[in-house]
Every structure is written in C-alpha cells, then in structure tokens.
Structure 1
C-alpha cells in the first residue's frame, strides 16, 4: 500500500500546491500589471517579470524544444515543466506589484510531515 500512495496523483498535486498556486497567480496578475504600467499608474516597470513571461511564451510557441513534441507525452511534459518554472519566476518578480495592489498573500505551503 505504501508504494501505491507514492503514485497517488492527488497526494502529489497537494504537495505541489504551492507551485501551482504561484503559476495561477502569475497568470492572473500579469495582464493587469501590464495595464497599470502602460497607464502610468505603477512604477518602476518590473522588467524581470516581463522578461520571464516573454521567455515562457516564446518557449511555448517555439518549434525548438528540449524534447520534441513529436514524442507526445514526454514532449508536452517538458513544455509544462519549463513553462511552469518560468511562471513561478514571473510570480516572484511580481511581489512588489502585489504589495502595491494590496494583495500580497503568501502562497500556502503544506505543513511538514
């Protein structure tokens, strides 16, 4: 039974919940941040967040990958992992923007076992 629990997808997602929350928050905040920057309401411009997001989009649409998408599951999986990591970098770069908006909520971490 213990070996089966290690492969339990729900348990794995629960352990990775912090990273998934960071990715979702980055995607939710990036477009409003760009709007605030373009309207001049938010300064300084978070160039690192813009750069990380540009890298994520470029990697996602680029035909050049670490593992070609022709290898169906593995090829798509590398896209998910790399773009997910880049989105966590976007989220970290948006920390000052979240504080400015008054929505700086810490990402929930699962309690240690």
Structure 2
C-alpha cells in the first residue's frame, strides 16, 4: 500500500489538502455562523449547512454504520471518510457566509 511507503502519508495528505482545508474551515465557521443566524445578523439562513451538519452528527452518533466500528481501524476510517465528506458539503454551503464575513472565496486565500 502506498501509504506505508516512504513519504506515503505526506503525499496522501498533500493530495487531500483541499478536502482537509474545507473540513477545517467548516468546523471553524459553523458555530460563529449559528450565532450570527440566531442573533439575526446574518440572513438568509443557510439551511443546507444545518442539514449537512445534522447528517454528520447523526452518522457519528448512530450505531448504524456502513462498516461497523467493531472492525476497529476500518470502522473508524469509514466514519472519518463519511463525516469528512459531509463536512466538505457544510463548507460548500457556507460559501455565502464566508463572503459575508469578508473571507472571500477559498481560491483567494
């Protein structure tokens, strides 16, 4: 497996940089966005972001998984991949909020 070769992990992370950046950005912006929506400072409400985040939380909490967590490593990787993908969807749904906050599009950063 390429991951276990010399530099394999670094190369894999470099390839996944865009997704990892989107996940981190979604996690960093979601709570402040909720506060801005609840206080009425930000409208319209980004319902898709709430939906994707609810799905991510439900998948983490739910005992039903694509691959059971009993299969330790594979089950946990399954959770990370699916929740990571859902968080990239949250990030995409927060694009207008990022512009409103003055952070600009991801490519300009």
After TM superposition, is the score higher than 0.5? yes
Q: CA deviation at 1:69?
A: 0.2
The number of residues matched between the two structures is 106
- Partner of 2:75 in structure 1? 75
Aligned to 2:84: 84
For 1:62 and 1:53, the matched residues in 2 are separated by: 14
**Which structure's residues are more often helix, by fraction?**
2
Q: Is the 8 A contact 1:21 1:107 kept in 2?
A: no
Q: Name the CA distance, whole Å, in 1 between partners of 2:58 and 2:52.
A: 10
Calculate the TM-score normalised by the size of structure 2. Answer: 0.91
TM-superposed CA distance for 1:105, in Å, is 4.1
TM-score, L = length of structure 1? 0.88
Structure 1 unaligned regions, length at least 5: 109-113
Q: Which structure 2 residue ranges, 5 or more long, are not aligned?
A: none
Q: Partner residue of 2:17?
A: 17
Greater relative contact order, per chain length (Cα 8 Å cut-off, separation 6+): 1
